[in-house]
Chain A
């Protein structure tokens, strides 16, 4: 059984199914994006027991029993509004993964420094270059 955003889902039959495939294709939670499918870009980031994890290279069966949080489970988190306010997105394809990583950061460190932000967000690529405003959104998320 997979627990995603507080709901129970059946594990996919094929043990080779990745968590990203299960989320998107089986559970129709397409907020989590797949951009590289090899663990290099961070677009597929979800939280597994609160830790940012690459769902595209995680087997769904391996997180049986863990708490999985996707962007759908964070839709009302203040970080979302902070990203929109700061214009911390352009095409938006990497944005769900960015927000998931950002939420994990501020859960652990509510007022991160620039260095802490950069260190925590280095695994989320953004080709549009929204980085400066992503930094600002994280810095000002409680405003």
Chain B
């Protein structure tokens, strides 16, 4: 395996290049066989890292963002509550958005649908950490707190190829296409544009007090009279809640998550209403 450190984005080989920034997903996944790569390309110096108005560099680390007073509270809080201090030092915004599910069947390489197989083992198996929306085909849950916050904030992503709403970074996996993200090969995220809301909040339920993936995370963002709510840990992708929680489709073992989501959504919406 080779590790390239090009000095510009243009130098990134068009094919066969696995991008490496913080490496907190790429390195363990390479070592456990979830990813294969002949060539890694270190893009840390090449992807913007600072803050420019409402634009945040895709290379900014969660540690930098958790202490930044300029950014919306929901984003700051989602960074602060994510992972561990070491992981926050290492991981970038873009990397966090692109992280894989923690579904144990997927992580342990059971031949599930996301691995190209024809069964979702969580469905009739052990699924207490899994989804309660969008889970008809794949029951995995998206673990990113930051993605839920940015989705509620209606962020826009600028890549080397295009500019688009963050929601379009994700797609539910289907029979003919098992991917949950839409970046094209060679497409690199550069900026995340985060419009400033009137109020925003991020609430997170975890199994232990710190250092855990969300059982469910709720981001609520109010701009004027409109409030957007997005959920982490709820669906295979970050989930915009644009209807009642009664529409949730929990599995028997994820019904408790809907109960918790109800409470956190109410609390989050109340919190941004009164600020």
Contact = CB atoms under 8 A, between A and B. Distances in A.
Indicate if A touches B (C-beta under 8 A): yes
Interface of A: 14-16, 18, 37-39, 42, 45, 51-54, 57-59, 61-62, 64, 101, 118-123
7 contacts: A45-B86, A51-B63, A53-B86, A58-B23, A59-B27, A120-B85, A121-B85
A42 B86 contact: yes
A39 B31 CA distance: 12
- Chain A CB within 10 Å — which of B1, B20, B27 has the most? B27
B24 A57 contact: yes
Contacts of A51: 63, 89
B32 A123 contact: no
Contacts of B5: 64
B87 interface: yes
A54 B86 contact: yes
Is the contact region of chain B dominated by helix, strand, or loop, or is it mixed? mixed
Contact of B210 (A15, A58, A59, A122): A122
Given A16-B30, A57-B23, A122 B3 contact: no
B164 interface: no
Given A16-B1, A57-B23, A59-B27, A52 B210 contact: no
A38 B85 contact: no
Contacts of A123: 83-87, 211
Given A119-B210, A123-B211, A57 B84 contact: no
A126 B86 CA distance: 15
Contacts of B87: 39, 54, 123
Contacts of B77: none
B28 to A, nearest CB: 5
A23 B201 CA distance: 42
B90 interface: yes
Nearest to A50: B89
B85 A122 contact: yes
A121 B32 CA distance: 27
Given A38-B31, A52-B86, A123-B86, 16 more contacts: A15-B1, A16-B1, A38-B28, A38-B32, A39-B86, A53-B86, A53-B90, A57-B28, A58-B23, A58-B27, A59-B20, A59-B27, A61-B3, A62-B42, A119-B85, A122-B210
Contacts of B85: 52, 101, 119-123
